Amino acid sequence: MKKVLVTGADGFIGSHLVESLLETGEDVRAFVFYNSLNSRGWLDTIPPDKLKAIEIVQGDIRDEYRVRTATKDVDVVFHLAALIAIPFSYLSPRSYVDTNVGGTLNVLQAARDYGIGKVLITSTSEVYGTAKYVPIDEKHPRQGQSPYAASKIGADALAESFWKSFRVPVVVGRPFNTFGPRQSARAIIPAVIIQLLEGRDTICLGGLHPTRDFVFVRDTVDGLQRIAASDGLVGEAVNIATGTEISIGDLASKIIAMINPRARIETEAERLRPAESEVERLCGSSALLQSSTGWSPKVSLAEGLAWTIDWFRNPENRARYKSEIYNL
């Protein structure tokens, strides 16, 4: 058993990762964002017996002291804490630099000082920008087409520098478009599902032509754990992708057919990205991950959509979302 720290454990991917780590017998410390309601985010929805097994540390990833407190005496760090909504990064770019770059620096510095055995920094396919070739491998140029993407490029570069400068055993896991239960309504799949389940016949979306490579959350979590466990990937960035792509319009149509075939799609101006900021195409290669760890995606898009829709059909789950507003 290893002592494992997960930052951003209260979030979508983080909460699924915590559950998976518990299933594999790890001793988990969860770093969650402090708030006056004492909410632990999505961790509050997992079974009580699992929750009792987790050591909860509340704080702010931007607080160097609190991050050091959370990092002490652990063997492995999974760093997922980040601001991730692209539309809000247009409105508040400084907060993305402070959280995504500054927070990552806090984790790396603590890991260096404490001699942590492995640090996994969670990146994003958005760092690649619009594909110059497909499938996108780890050698693809990085392009900051949004403040969010730029902040994650900065975080990735810091991780690389701590490996090269100080030999901190860092590896970067780079998921493509993860989806599944608990995902924020700012993401395309929950946005479509929620509108349909709330009985709307007109589904409001942004651009319909961009393509994305969707990975079910269980496969993403499996990829992150395999990357962290592989000594051969230290100092590397590693994609987690299916190698397939689908346009946003075709994806929405697929979900509509599964819930309400009468619904139609309408483009809403406020949901569109600035023209030069839109990432037109993402389709990733996971060849490095597959050859190094044996990982492969187990859940198809159709299967993952069905499971996600079933989760959102539960009124208790859906009540956590504000379906009447556009979620930045």
pLDDT at 210: 97
pLDDT at 295: 98
Q: Six-digit token pair at 105?
A: 């620096």
pLDDT at 66: 98
Q: Is the pLDDT of residue 1 over 70?
A: no
What gap in Å lies between CA 205 and CA 199, rounded to an integer? 16
Place 327 in a pLDDT band, splitting at 50, 70 and 90.
Answer: confident
Place 51 in a pLDDT band, splitting at 50, 70 and 90.
Answer: very high
Average pLDDT over residues 146-151: 98
> If DSSP codes are grouped into helix, strand and coil, which group holds residue 6?
strand
Q: Is the pLDDT of residue 328 over 80?
A: no
Q: Six-digit token pair at 25?
A: 């017998």
Question: Please, are residues 149 and 129 in contact by the beta-carbon 8 Å criterion?
Answer: yes
Average pLDDT over residues 37-63: 96
Torsion from C-alpha of 232, 238, 244, 249, nearest 10 degrees: 160
Catalytic entry in 90, 148, 321, 326:
148
What gap in Å lies between CA 64 and CA 203, rounded to an integer? 43
b/e code 294-323 from CB counts within 10 Å (16+ = b): ebebebebeebbebbbebbeeeeebeebeb
Q: Is the pLDDT of residue 57 over 70?
A: yes
pLDDT at 222: 98
pLDDT at 279: 97
Give the DSSP H/E element, type plus range, for residue 88.
Answer: helix 86-91
Model confidence pTM above 0.95? yes
Pairing of strands 3-7, 27-33: parallel
Place 324 in a pLDDT band, splitting at 50, 70 and 90.
Answer: confident
The domains located in the chain, with CATH, are 3-180+216-240 (3.40.50.720)
Query: Per-residue pLDDT tens for 195-229?
Result: 999 999 999 999 999 999 999 999 999 999 999 99
What gap in Å lies between CA 110 and CA 113, rounded to an integer? 5
Helix%, strand%, coil% for the chain, nearest 5: 45, 15, 40
pLDDT at 239: 98
Angle at which helices 188-197 and 248-259 pack, to 10 degrees?
30
Average pLDDT over residues 36-62: 95
Give the DSSP H/E element, type plus range, for residue 59.
Answer: strand 55-59
Query: Per-residue pLDDT tens for 102-124?
Result: 999 999 999 999 999 999 999 99
For the question of residue 133 being annotated catalytic, the response is no
Query: Per-residue pLDDT tens for 228-276?
Result: 999 999 999 999 999 999 999 999 999 999 999 999 999 999 899 999 9
| Mean pLDDT rounded to a whole number for the chain | 96
Average pLDDT over residues 12-35: 97
Q: How many CB atoms sit inside 10 A of residue 134's CB?
A: 16
Average pLDDT over residues 143-164: 98
